[in-house]
Amino acid sequence: MPRPDRSHSSRRDFLKASSAALVGSALAEIGCSSRPAAAMAGAMLVHSGVAGPIKVGLLGCGGRGTGAAKNALMADPGVELVAVGDLFADMAQNCVVSLKGDAECGARVKITPETTFVGLDAYKGVIAASDVVLLCTTPAFRPLHLRACVEARKHTFVEKPVAVDGPGLRSVLESCRLAREKRLHVVSGLCYRYERKKIATVERIQGGALGEILALQCTYNTGFLWHRGRQPEWTDMQWQLRNWLYFAWLSGDHVAEQHIHSLDKIAWAMKDEYPIHCVSSGGRACRTDPKFGDVFDHFNTVYEWKNGVRLFSSCRQWGGAASDVSDFVFGTRGKANIQAHAIWGEQPWRWDDQWKGRKSEEIPPDDMYQNEHDAFFAALRKGDVINNGNYMCGSTLMAIMARMSAYSGQQVTWDQALNSPDSLGPDLATITFDTPPPEPRLAVPGVTKIA
């Protein structure tokens, strides 16, 4: 991994970049607009638009990566998928077969054996072959891969989370700064910000429909996720990489890998001003088998902003238990559920009300995954530049704070998480499949130390 900038960073500096992105010439800063499509129309940096075919490469060929590749192909008839890369050959091959067989876009999948890259260095071949790279790998690799893309002057789509620890996060922040200088796109996989229903809801919250915000609550309670087991021919490193969800050094734990969507919606409603500290608890109640590595299966976190507003955040992955995905904002004039696109109080509103009595075919599509790629490739054609770096880093850091606090049992500040020297894993630029991976060690609150 490229060595991150070790200089001290502060919440004030981070928020300065965020605030500057909203006005005047400072729109050249990392973008954090609550209206990505509107921002593209005239507020972003301008360079000559792209004509002709756009060569796209995919890194990370799992379900999300395969879906992102199709979204890119559907976004623009001139997009060609020219390269794929994955740690494992079977993942790459399954992805190519799926996309080539797609009736809507398969004809523009130009993958050959020579442009199918496998292994820990696969990213190098994909980057060299492409104009645009979709970064959909295991989260721990995001800092390494994004830096390589920026240095090669490639536009990127960056899935969430963008890092698993402080050093990785600082590396991504620096890559986003370099991308601004080079006028390169950095489009975030925090897809809710591109969903029109969510944009309309958050606009009303930010516009004062709830009055003064008093408290916040978000929940992401789901069931068990996939597990790929273990084959005798796999090394310990390959086993962990195949089952990356369950190893904190690869995923950042599920508070980062999944719950980040909830945290991002709350940060968005708060105009991308971030909390000053948090206290979290968590552990393993259901996923206790050693095959589940060292991640927790539940977190409960209280974040606090400088004005005293608190966010009560919870997430869990328990099989057979009640599920809930919701995001509430409570104010002096009402309350909102962002996930349900509804406001109650003095200015009641529901997104669905405008479509009452309409036939389904009369309701415009609002696929957030497709929307973000439509915006990305439209901007490439037009000559605008999107850089979502600030909010994708901010929401990732909120998740890192919660993990650090739950693992240690201590309060963790924003600046502490941002400047933490703790790397969860090895240097990913130098590992091999035979490198011994970090030994899974379950954190013990009150005992586990953080820097």
Q: What is the CATH number of the domain that holds 210?
A: 3.30.360.10
Of 415, 408, 162, 407, the closest CA to residue 274 belongs to 415
Q: Could you tell me which residue, 266 or 10, shows the higher pLDDT?
A: 266
Which residues pair with residue 334 across a beta bridge? Answer: 331, 345
Asked whether residue 129 is assigned to any structural domain, the reply reads: yes
Domain that holds residue 36: 11-193+369-389
Instruction: Give the strand order in the sheet containing 79-86.
Output: 116-118, 79-86, 54-59, 132-135, 155-158, 186-188
| 267 in the same domain as 339 | yes
Q: What's the token pair of residue 22? A: 């909203």
pLDDT score at 139: 98
Count of all residues that appear for the chain in the document: 451
| 159 in the same domain as 235 | no
| 374 in the same domain as 272 | no
* Residue range 266-294: mean pLDDT, rounded: 98
Of 79, 129, 14, the closest CA to residue 394 belongs to 14
Is the distance from CB of 34 to CB of 206 less than 8 angstroms? yes
Integer Cα distance of 333 and 346 in angstroms: 6
Asked whether residue 423 is assigned to any structural domain, the reply reads: no
pLDDT band at 278 (very low <50, low <70, confident <90, very high): very high
Asked whether residue 164 is assigned to any structural domain, the reply reads: yes
Whether residue 365 has a cis bond before it, omega within 30° of 0: no
pLDDT score at 1: 39
| 282 in the same domain as 206 | yes
Model pTM?
0.92
Tens of pLDDT, residues 393-445: 999 999 999 999 999 999 999 999 999 999 999 999 999 999 999 999 999 99
| 402 in the same domain as 254 | yes
Integer Cα distance of 162 and 280 in angstroms: 21
pLDDT score at 15: 65
* Residue range 57-80: mean pLDDT, rounded: 98
Asked whether residue 450 is assigned to any structural domain, the reply reads: no
Measured between its terminal Cα atoms, the distance across the chain in Å is 20
Measured in degrees and rounded to the nearest 5, phi and psi for residue 301 equal -130, 140
Asked whether residue 233 is assigned to any structural domain, the reply reads: yes
- Number of domains making up the chain: 2
pLDDT score at 18: 52
* Residue range 367-385: mean pLDDT, rounded: 97
| 375 in the same domain as 361 | no
Asked whether residue 427 is assigned to any structural domain, the reply reads: no
| 141 in the same domain as 33 | yes
pLDDT score at 76: 98
Q: Name the 3-class secondary structure at 2.
A: coil
Q: What's the token pair of residue 144? A: 């390494």
Is the distance from CB of 278 to CB of 402 less than 8 angstroms? yes
Instruction: Indicate whether 356 pLDDT > 60.
Output: yes
Looking at residue 126, which CATH number applies to its domain?
Answer: 3.40.50.720
| 326 in the same domain as 378 | no
Q: How many CB atoms are closer than 10 A to CB 414?
A: 25
| 361 in the same domain as 230 | yes
* Residue range 44-58: mean pLDDT, rounded: 76
Please say whether the dihedral angle defined by the alpha carbons of residues 59, 63, 64 and 69, taken in this order, is positive or negative.
positive
DSSP at 290: G
| 221 in the same domain as 97 | no
Asked whether residue 424 is assigned to any structural domain, the reply reads: no
| 326 in the same domain as 306 | yes
| 360 in the same domain as 256 | yes
51 backbone φψ class: left, alpha, beta (φ>0; ψ -120 to 50): beta
pLDDT score at 399: 98
Asked whether residue 443 is assigned to any structural domain, the reply reads: no
Tens of pLDDT, residues 185-239: 999 999 999 999 999 999 999 999 999 999 999 999 999 999 999 999 999 999 9
% of residues, the chain, pLDDT over 70: 91
The average confidence (pLDDT) of the chain is: 92
